[in-house]
A and B are shown apart, each in its own frame.
Chain A
């Protein structure tokens, strides 16, 4: 089902890649500093449950958070040291909301935990698929492209998967950490891909890499030649080529139906970084405790790439990159298209692929002007939506109209806002409208619940009345009978209504 020639996606924008400053910077391992803020909620799903207590010593790779039931992921100590607190701390998210966080003071010894699992040495084809998925779960691996979806769930979903696609798109401007990983650790990525393909039972595997990374393509091809591995397919450098839906279209010519998941059409997509983490977990028994990150943006003195222990504050990353040469207008976790304004004290999470400090000139902030319906957003939308229409309806408070125009189909990729000559905050309007819609749905559910409860109460009361009537009638009948018989026993008839009274109150 893979195509021999990649298909060009509809819409999309050619952003300025701005990758030059870090593309040649090798992944430099960064040591844990003063304190690590390891979030227990750095993945999609429920936060992990703390498995350590304040004051406890932890070893590198030791499990410090066990996954909650359902969708969740394990969390491990990125280095050895002492847990000083388990407290709420800001996450790399603009809300400023805090998340449960294990705060570790490193002892600098980098002492590995003794109980790490044994390396799996057999060729991928001979391993037990379930054992691979289990290992991925134990290692706490989540999608490293940014979404942070627990990877083991996607490997063991039980649906037949014909095609595994590795995402080496990295189409966000500035970010080059995946590019570096592909250049430097291609063999590990290919091995990880083979392990995941085995776990999924996938017949085919392809790696899509944007054609602006010739060296990564070269390195991967060399590794696939050696390992007899999957196809490496150059894809156009076009935002948002790295979106799962669009990479699938480019490589298979198929679209993920609205409301369905990729697995429903037999495709699973994983980021190249995730594949590398799977390789590390299986072949070396290492849990996910560090990740590649690009530190960049015009305000950073020496933009570069790091291999960073999870939990290291973003501030420490900026300092490691030579500090700031000017006051940034905005500091982001992630790239400039979909990244989010982040507090500097937040710790690096499993999904954090960049820390980008942008100058005002790079942001090109412009005064918002009225929509002139020029249709540039329509041409740019990779989902085939008419963003100006959704935005106009959202701005007018017409949430239902916005939904009818495709609000829920939007990827919030920002292509529309990128090209808008009137500098309208389109994505913000979409988020806002979605929030309102969720609120309306919740309110509707609440009122529905209230209505049902009121109906039930009315029904109960009605039944109550009937029973009372029936009881009274029975009493009258009884009395009449007693009169007729000349007997005397009224106590049961008196007690009964009292019991019923209690029942109605519950």
Chain B
């Protein structure tokens, strides 16, 4: 390549490492709430996952013969690990974090050629792989036991839960809102009558319910997401279109048959909808590069989430949705492109006598 330096000779301040750290910063409040809500075992799991992804990233870079310091320094692996941890059951044993971290970095991006080369969201690859391999550990949810409360495990006890599987699951397990809804429908019950026991919009907004480590707090996730939009770290089209499509779909079907179809509030506040909309579907590498492409991608995610939640058997609607749409991203980028200046949509030069494009 040419040695001559070409313009521009200055640049915008936002760099890749800064971008990644902004994501971590935005995810921190919801994560901190999750750690408070589910106690020390949740913190153990988060730290184990983070240590694993950093080690795995270093190993991958070394194997690929790339500069290790700079590669780890961009924090992209840290982001993948962090988001994976947010989506794990908070009391999952240590090896879930380790295997998940390894899967995210090695299978999620290392094998594709590292940062920027992967087709699928690394955190979601790991989450789905874990679910299929370890369905029991991946679907055991605990009732909220906030730090300092009577039911919260102490620090030493938490080490037992994380490293020795010492939890008395019968005493602590709860069902998530979406589980309850699904069960109600399969038993022929109406969603409306089944829900109120487990689901209260105000609590769902805060995230005070059984669920993954840090996907419950709709309020804090939205706050972090809005910050990322404000700082122009993520593309606004993805969360906006995804949430709007999901709300529209859910509302329409809820209107037709309220007993069978949950309303928009349940779809948006419960489960991992907001985590996915703001932090997962917005992964730059695995989402389309144009505004319209992103909108199509986001609408597709919402559609799949709704279909899986309404008709599917797995609890992983958002992970499936994002991974499926990830597969379409190259196609979307191939077909949905901006119109080039001076050319028609199909690429032919504009005619000289036409008035305007």
Contacts and interface: CB of A to CB of B under 8 A. Distances in A.
Contacts of A432: 1-2
A258 interface: yes
A168 B276 CA distance: 47
Interface residues of B, number: 47
A385 B339 CA distance: 8
B164 to A, nearest CB: 40
Given A260-B349, A375-B235, A423-B15, A386 B9 contact: no
Nearest to A366: B15
B8 A338 contact: yes
Most chain A beta-carbon contacts within 10 A, residue among B117, B339, B342: B342
B12 interface: yes
B12 A418 contact: yes
Contacts of A381: 338
B113 to A, nearest CB: 9
Interface in B46-83: 70, 74, 76
A99 interface: no
Contacts of B288: 375
B18 interface: yes
Nearest to A329: B9
Contacts of B311: none
A312 B13 CA distance: 35
A339 B1 CA distance: 20
A409 B343 contact: yes
Contacts of B291: 379
A382 B341 contact: yes
B10 interface: yes
A373 B284 contact: yes
Contacts, number: 174
B231 interface: no
A264 B354 CA distance: 11
A257 B355 CA distance: 11
| B interface: dominant SS | loop
Contacts of B8: 336-338, 414, 417-418, 427
Contacts of B114: 370
Contact of B1 (A358, A385, A417, A428): A428
Given A372-B115, A375-B284, A336 B351 contact: no
A382 B194 CA distance: 54
Nearest to B117: A370
A372 B341 contact: no
B355 A388 contact: no
B341 A431 contact: no
A277 B255 CA distance: 72
Given A257-B351, A260-B352, A421-B15, A173 B10 contact: yes
Given A260-B349, A425-B6, A406 B342 contact: no
Contacts of B340: 258, 383-385, 406, 409
Given A257-B350, A339-B7, A378-B289, A10 B341 contact: yes
A431 B6 contact: yes
A362 B343 contact: no
A95 interface: yes
Interface in A452-477: none
Interface of A: 10, 13, 15-16, 94-95, 173, 245, 249, 253-260, 264-265, 330, 332, 336-341, 356, 358, 362-364, 366-367, 369-375, 378-379, 381-386, 388-389, 406, 409, 412, 414, 417-423, 425, 427-429, 431-432, 435
6 nearest interchain CB pairs? Answer: A375-B289, A374-B284, A414-B8, A384-B338, A258-B342, A257-B350
Interface of B: 1-2, 4-16, 18-19, 70, 74, 76, 114-117, 235, 284-285, 288-291, 294, 333, 337-343, 349-352, 355-357
